[in-house]
Amino acid sequence: MRVRELGTRPAPVTMREILSQLVRGHGPAIFVRRREIPYWQERRWTRNGRTYTGSYQTPHAAFQGRIEEGWSGHLDFFLRHPSREIEQGGHWSCFVPRGDGWYLVHMARRPKDVSSGIMTIERLITEAYR
Amino acid sequence: MKKLSVVVAGTGQIRDVEIQPGTTAGDILHQLNLSDYLLSRGPNEPFFANAESVYDKVKDGEKIFASTKAEVGIAVCA
């Protein structure tokens, strides 16, 4: 078997104490608990009812974003004021104007969750700048 | 052997795995029962192909992302 799942169990306190004592010259290690939160929260998007607001963030640029979740779970992704780089990219025809600078980003294959959709659009933005 | 932390985008859940040389993205997704997902090193990096070896492209202890398949486009521009 090539992949072995190790699980998410933290090391026992006593084991950590023993390990920290083995390292001379250092104080006891501080166990930092990792945050397990959805990507949209990690990116500081906020949710109000069925609407998410935040920004699509890349090393090149960030854009104001909005996501609307329909009653059936259908997700619509919006991006405001796309840049010239996005306009000149290969996916510009998938941006449908919705007024006030907002564009609906049409998805040929819809993501099943908000986080995956944000990642998809951030990847599109990055590609437009390359 | 390398250890990886796979972040499942929709939930934030982190799955720790250990992989051997030659392990593909498909192997990892299958093992984690994430058949409808794709792996990447982050939103600014391309997806790993299912048959692509991941071992050489990640560092020991690295965090990678599993997100559901999505594609921007319509029939004429996809």
Q: What stretches in chain A show pLDDT beneath 50? A: none
Count of CB atoms within 10 A of residue A81's CB? 11
CATH of the domain at B23: 3.10.20.90
**pLDDT tens for residues B37-74?**
999 998 888 899 999 999 999 999 999 999 988 888 76
**Residue B78 is assigned to a structural domain of this protein:** no
**Residue B10 is assigned to a structural domain of this protein:** yes
Q: Closest by alpha carbon to A119, among A105, A98, A100?
A: A105
Percent of chain B exceeding pLDDT 90 equals: 69
**Per-residue pLDDT at B78 exceeds 50:** no
Contact criterion met (CB below 8 Å) for A128 and A85: yes
Chain B residue with CA closest to A112: the answer is: B68
| Angstroms from A76 CA to nearest CA on chain B | 12
The complex's ipTM? 0.74
Q: Where are the alpha helices (DSSP H) in B21-64?
A: 25-31
Which pLDDT does position B29 carry in this prediction?
A: 95
Which pLDDT does position A31 carry in this prediction?
A: 80
- Chain A partners of B22 at a C-beta cutoff of 8 Å? 2
Residue to test with chain A: of B67, B69, B77, most A Cβ within 10 A: B67
Q: How many domains does one find in chain B?
A: 1
**Per-residue pLDDT at B77 exceeds 50:** no
Which pLDDT does position A125 carry in this prediction?
A: 93
Backbone angles phi, psi at A17, to 5 degrees: -65, -40
Chain A residues 3-62 with CB within 8 Å of chain B: 3-8, 34-39, 41-42, 58-59
Average pLDDT for residues B24-35, to the nearest whole number?
A: 93
User: What is the value of pTM for the model shown?
Assistant: 0.77
Q: Which domain holds residue B20?
A: 2-68
Chain B residue with CA closest to A126: the answer is: B44
